[in-house]
Structure 1
């Protein structure tokens, strides 16, 4: 189910990239590597509503429910340095490379991506993970870690689990 926001649709701004995110992510607590859980669709909607400095164009729950956020005609602050010409899609997921991406969520993502690729005349190679466009890092316990590993990249104890192959093959 897609909840549309008035004004969503074809954009007057040039779109050349779609960035996939996960709502969870790594951090440091008391000198130890920690990973924030991805939460639920509802908890993420509340989070974004109270944090106007971050945004998304679409948020997809584990059950495939898709909610539109910032209209595509406007910039959503989701990927530092890439916001002005991209669409940001958040997936409710821990993003730790272990939390599974349910089939309903990936099917909804593929459907949305197919529409966006067509709308903006893009090819599947213009879909990237947040980890590919944000190279920032942080230090925790005297070790350096990548800040953005989403949507489901490598993380200590995991080799990553986002189904890039399935997504890209479905969009050919």
Structure 2
């Protein structure tokens, strides 16, 4: 039986040109099934929280998929989460990887999971920046969330460190997102 391909490519025009976003579905990166039920988010969501995975970066799909599988396994087996913590992950390969997606409550930011979408960049961005392509893809994902009505048009954007004692999303990435539209001090 042929494998059903669920990814799609979405192109959005930004002031700096066109960005195509490919969403790699859970089935495509071969996610484990969640361990139990996960609550649904109340749509539209008003907060986007950006983090990093505090791992090595990935620059090609095969490597990114392997890292995401390891992250999911660690979060489920060691931390006791029912699934991968993030709603979406962004690789330096320019792909968006579906975690819990637009409709399920994440486990990325204690006390703020039920009212936010968690987007995590794969890697550690304390001194290095994600690729320009990865940054543009994250912007495209957020714009698509607004277009679909999953995010409110007045959403607020935060770094993970604003809600938790962590370096995430790393100094370099945090400095970048503070310049994005909708960034909020709180």
Q: TM-score normalized by structure 2?
A: 0.62
Helix, strand or coil at the partner of 2:180: helix
Question: Does structure 1 residue 60 correspond to structure 2 residue 90?
Answer: yes
**Aligned pairs for 1:32-51 within 5 A:** 37-40=55-58, 41-50=64-73, 51=75
Point out which structure has higher relative CO (alpha carbons under 8 A, 6+ apart). 1
**Aligned pairs for 1:19-34 within 5 A:** 19-24=49-54
Any idea what the Cα deviations from partners look like across 1:52-100, whole Å, max 9, x if unmatched? 215111111012111111132211100011001111101012131x112
Q: Provide closer, same or farther for how the CA distance between residues 164 and 12 of structure 1 changes in structure 2, counting only shifts above 3 A.
A: closer
Cα RMSD between the aligned structures?
Answer: 2.3
**Aligned pairs for 1:75-94 within 5 A:** 75-94=105-124
Deviation at 1:161, TM superposition (A): 4.7
Q: Provide closer, same or farther for how the CA distance between residues 113 and 16 of structure 1 changes in structure 2, counting only shifts above 3 A.
A: same
Give the aligned partner of residue 130 of structure 1: 160
Q: Check whether the contact 1:55–1:76 (CA below 8 A) recurs between aligned residues.
A: yes
Q: TM-score normalized by structure 1?
A: 0.67
Any idea what the Cα deviations from partners look like across 1:25-47, whole Å, max 9, x if unmatched? xxxxxxxxxxxx43432343122
Deviation at 1:12, TM superposition (A): 5.3
Q: Check whether the contact 1:38–1:95 (CA below 8 A) recurs between aligned residues.
A: no
